[in-house]
Structure 1
């Protein structure tokens, strides 16, 4: 059997309906064995028609259902899509993904890529610009490959890039007030950046009960696990004290800290690499009389 894979568009009362299926051009073995197997296949068989041909609607069936959003990508699938659209090269695609993870535009949960609020704000800002176009990125990659092969001139590429950059800056100034990012800003307030992680350099964020590295991922054993509980030995660590810790400074004096023996003591806190250390206040000298 031979057939054409076909999309058939039919107009009924000015509404357009799309049918996708096969148009059989030659029955082959089905001349002998019939169409039973073909009829059991899920994909429908379309009649042979000509463009502009008038047909009669003999039956209408209403199927109720819900559309499903596209499935989210894994990192491997994203690399495949990037390759399909000539984004990056075999040597750089993984690095590009790592870069946007580091910048917190995406996060990985259970091997699935999720766009963060920061990433959504970036998409909103560049979605209608040339720099947000995968096609432009692909053209750049092809041109850069041509430069590497000596077929294209680097000077013209640099000059064109300068002009494009200036154009994008001017457009951003004009469009900034129209960006629909208020909802993203409100959502990001729940993940307030405190400072830089002493272990990996990524932002440390307020996670309600702890101050933790934004690079932590439950499903990644190699991800950064730096965190400091907001309640430490019976005393609360304020945001201002946490900022001091991340800046390599001592906190203000914390009074009434309780160790394992339940005996209270006073101390400053300071980070030694990514571990909290105690700095005890100097005892005052008693004047001799």
Structure 2
């Protein structure tokens, strides 16, 4: 049977810079509704022109009470992961094709894992977040890992590689930058909400066991002291994202507002290592002041040396990465 077809109309009305949305819907082709002999009432909107000035006849507040969303079940969780959290019908999933959390082969295992670790608990058919899971969401500083859009983009990038629309090299470069930025954010989180001590999960006892070495406390103190000293350096320039000061640390060059703007360049940058180069103070200062930096004697794949102009910019995927142009 053919689908039912509707003509949808939306009107946005500006009342003292407050935008009100009105929707209208008219059935044009009954399609399968003919079989059910089902009549639908049209929501007709009055005729009007764009930018037409209309009179406000009445303003009346409505008292309504919302109801909390139903708890997730395994079925609705798997569906949410498939659609990246978007509330769409099965017919509309093609719009989100490629955007998902995991694959059909891994999603069920993910649910099983977060239950084993203790982030969620299951009562009957419903899943509920535990105190451990709630604390993780509130405290863990790398918020992108809780963002369904971000994780969906990662999965979409893998799909684009299969289609030849994205390269493996670009993907790995983005992932490496994200991992290094995330590790730095966790290790040098100024708010000190979480510990950098590592733990191993014991499946038998269902508890986390500390991996801390008794002799590591002194070593940790030395590292913290070294880090604090390096943070006393003068600013290299202003962050292009938020305007904060960019400082040199032991691991790289980071904005003092890194927790929010995520701007940073690691000294051990994997992409520049492909060209046998490392970011330096001079390079970073030039990037912050002029937007680019001239670098001599970079090494190409063929082993030949070349001079280049570097830029460090955010791409259309939302990641910071290097743009390298040969300086002729």
Q: Give the TM-score, by structure 1 length.
A: 0.49
Q: Give the TM-score, by structure 2 length.
A: 0.44
